[in-house]
Amino acid sequence: MIRIVTFEREYGSGAADIAAKVADQLGWKLWDQLFTDQIARSLRCDQRQVEEREERRDPLHYRLFKAFLRGSFEGNLASARGVQLADAESIRQASEKLVRAAAEEGKAVIVGRGSAYYLHERPDAFHVFIYGPFEEKVRRLQRQGKSEKEAVELVETVDQDRADFIKQSFGVDWPQRQYFDLMVNSVVGEERAARIILNALAAMNEE
């Protein structure tokens, strides 16, 4: 019986909205922004810091700064106050803990955060990958208020950041297709994509 659905996605593909529709239809908890909120709370940092570093590697200048700070008076003072550096690795560790806890709880729809890779051996998990044509992803981001230049840049760069994160964290290329049970092109529309996923889940639970 499937109790967990994970969503991996290309940036701008509309996966968050599709996942929300699937969660709503199933009556399951949606773990997307909720993860960001809980990670920020656990690390005692601003949500924006988490959003900027989730599913990414830290840039070189930040890694050097982090190494310096950890041996400095300021770093020791922050540690004494219980404040953690919101770097990519601390966020990854917090994400893994939350992903595994959400999976144990069940009835969970989890967006990103490496969930398909952390949970790929669970028989009660169903893994979905959402992708889309480049032009459609740019148009979707523009509808959300991004300029064309900004949308193009985001589509070109965010997925590379995710690929680097997956490579560093799991040692596999992104997307590693054998980790996914279903891959859906979001050009079919969010409602139809959600129905395709729900139908696939129903078929899996008939087995």
pLDDT band at 71 (very low <50, low <70, confident <90, very high): very low
In terms of pLDDT, which residue wins out, 60 or 121? 121
Q: Provide the CATH number for the domain formed by 4-202 in this structure.
A: 3.40.50.300
What's the whole-number mean pLDDT along residues 13-17? 96
pLDDT band at 83 (very low <50, low <70, confident <90, very high): very low
- Per-residue pLDDT for 120 more than 70? yes
Mean pLDDT of the chain, nearest integer: 85
What's the whole-number mean pLDDT along residues 30-48? 84
pLDDT score for 134: 96
Residues 140-194: tens digit of each pLDDT: 999 999 999 999 999 999 999 889 889 988 999 998 899 999 999 999 999 999 9
Written in H, E and C, the secondary structure of the chain is CCCEEEEEECCCCCHHHHHHHHHHHHCCEEECHHHHHHHHHHHCCCHHHHHHHCCCCCCHHHHHHHHHHHCCHHHHHHHHCCCCCCCHHHHHHHHHHHHHHHHHHCCEEEECCCHHHHCCCCCCEEEEEEECCHHHHHHHHHHCCCCHHHHHHHHHHHHHHHHHHHHHHHCCCCCCHHHCCEEEEHHHCHHHHHHHHHHHHHHHHHC
**Domain limits of the chain?**
4-202
What's the whole-number mean pLDDT along residues 124-146? 96
User: Cα–Cα distance between 154 and 151 in angstroms, integer?
Assistant: 5
